[in-house]
Structure 1
């Protein structure tokens, strides 16, 4: 996990001729009033076996019980992009009754250029937008094939986003999700991540959710929270050396997003949630 001191040491030049220092954020206090809606955010599922599917279904069952209407999945749905496991991810969401909004990860390519199994299972889920109860959601493909580092977000994605920004509302609260970290000082961030951040500055972006790093990082940039999380995988480990797993539970209020980080451990192939979790009582 990146510490507050480390975050403040790293100064980002993000356009407009100004220097922006990211603020390392504490978890957002959840509101007492009823939210307009709730959604979950997971990343790096790396599903590869039947046991992984059981584990994922247990996590999704918990998210559903916490009131979520749908989930964003920030890439790496599978380990090797085989069709069987891609469909197992889709089935896990269907069985629990949660709509899945995924984006592509580098592990969702079966070769350096072949993402066909992802596209067969999740059609029209590369670069896309959707709206839900007055909020805009933007899913971005930040991959460069199977490359995991020193990557560049494609011109196709940049051009698509430029066009969408002219069509989306600049005042509607917006959530962005993608696989590679859009925080330039975080390991594995794309070389041109700042280009995407500059484009997004014209929207009312409340949060950007990313994956790939397999570690908990949460910073504030202007009025936007950028959140990365531990992997939500049974078989894969975190890159930051921690053993905890996690997801985000997001409660939406009028023009406000309360983001709760939910962490848990794994025992006998299943998620184990904290004893003080109200759903564990």
Structure 2
């Protein structure tokens, strides 16, 4: 059996007709959904890895819901720092809330366990997993010692050595210690930084995808990063018993620089 699923992140959807950072993020998500219909309609499911909306308005979640209703495969969701949990739940339903009090979830499919973690915390841009979530994660990992595990959350835990490191998960030790209790963590996949990256840190594999909003360039050392219109990017994960591969699909091409007026 081969596991196949799509990951989208950083959708930043606005109420219909409104823009985010000069971009029509609703239209960009429509293009992502078109790509799923055309290329990944036989995948097992799709994960939305946070920053579903830009400002967390009810109308934005309603717009999001209308768009993703076209996705022909099951959709699983967790939240990011741009989301508003109570507003999300009011539109999508309380069933998305886990026993942790956050939008966490376990998916068992084709010999894998996939764990979604809600790393958002009201009033904070950096990522947070509270003690209840860490305990829940450890329990879910202990149940799956006989299979590989993929963890998906919004915030990256590992430093990327870029300016945005100050908004990652700033206190990752408990998270890493929990992951280390399992012998076969295949990937830890995040969004948040609007940048594609892969890394090995503390013996674990980490990946970020650029997502559906603006992308950033990698300017070193510590030069402010440019904001670019594209690409709009999703990840496509392929899991077999002995390998896990993350591919990146740029469903929108384009790298025009975004210039914003400064008052």
In the TM superposition, what is the alpha-carbon distance from 1:159 to its structure 2 partner?
2.4
CA gap of 1:152–1:94, structure 2 versus 1, over 3 A, is: closer
> What does 1:113-124 align with in structure 2 at a 5 Å threshold?
115-120=85-90, 121=92, 123-124=95-96
Indicate the residue corresponding to 1:143 in structure 2.
Answer: 120
After superposition, give the CA deviation of every residue in 1:8-52 in whole Å (9 maximum; x if it has no partner).
xxxxxxxxxxxxxxxxxxxxxxxxxxx723211111100014343
Stretch of structure 1 that moved more, 205-214 or 65-74: 65-74
Which residue is 1:52 aligned to? 25
TM-score (norm 2): 0.76
**Deviation of the 1:266 alpha carbon:** 4.7
Are 1:231 and 1:238, in contact at CA under 8 Å, matched by a contact in 2?
no
Q: Does 1:257 align with 2:262?
A: no
Q: Distance in 1 between matches of 2:73 and 2:204?
A: 26
The root-mean-square deviation of aligned C-alpha atoms, in Å, is 2.5
Q: 1:162 aligns with which of 135, 138, 157?
A: 138
Alignment partner of 1:73 is 2:48: yes
Provide the rounded CA distance (Å) in 1 between the counterparts of 2:242 and 2:58: 39
Which stretches in structure 1 are left out of the alignment for 5+ residues? 1-34, 110-114, 269-281
Aligned to 1:238: 216
How many angstroms apart in 2 are the aligned matches of 1:165 and 1:252? 18
CA contact under 8 A between 2:15 and 2:63: conserved in structure 1?
Answer: no
Kept after mapping to 1: 8 A contact 2:194/2:216: yes
Shift of 1:267: 9.3
Question: Retained in 2: the 8 A contact 1:81–1:107?
Answer: yes
Partner SS, residue 85 of structure 1:
helix
Question: What TM-score, normalized to structure 1?
Answer: 0.71
User: In the aligned structure 2, how far is the partner of 1:58 from the partner of 1:209?
Assistant: 22
The correspondence of residues 110-259 of structure 1 with structure 2, limited to 5 A, is: 115-120=85-90, 121=92, 123-125=95-97, 126-149=103-126, 151-166=127-142, 168-185=143-160, 187=165, 188-203=167-182, 204-221=184-201, 224-233=204-213, 236-238=214-216, 240-241=225-226, 243=228, 244-245=230-231, 246-259=233-246
Hey, what's the Cα distance between the residues in 2 that align with 1:209 and 1:225? 9
List runs of 5+ in structure 2 lacking aligned partners. 17-23, 98-102, 218-224, 257-263
State how far apart, in whole Å, the 2-side matches of 1:138 and 1:223 are. 19
Change (3 A) 1:87 1:256: farther
Partner Cα distance (1:199, 1:158) in 2 = 7
Q: Mark the CA change 1:132 to 1:173 in structure 2 (over 3 Å): closer, same or farther.
A: same
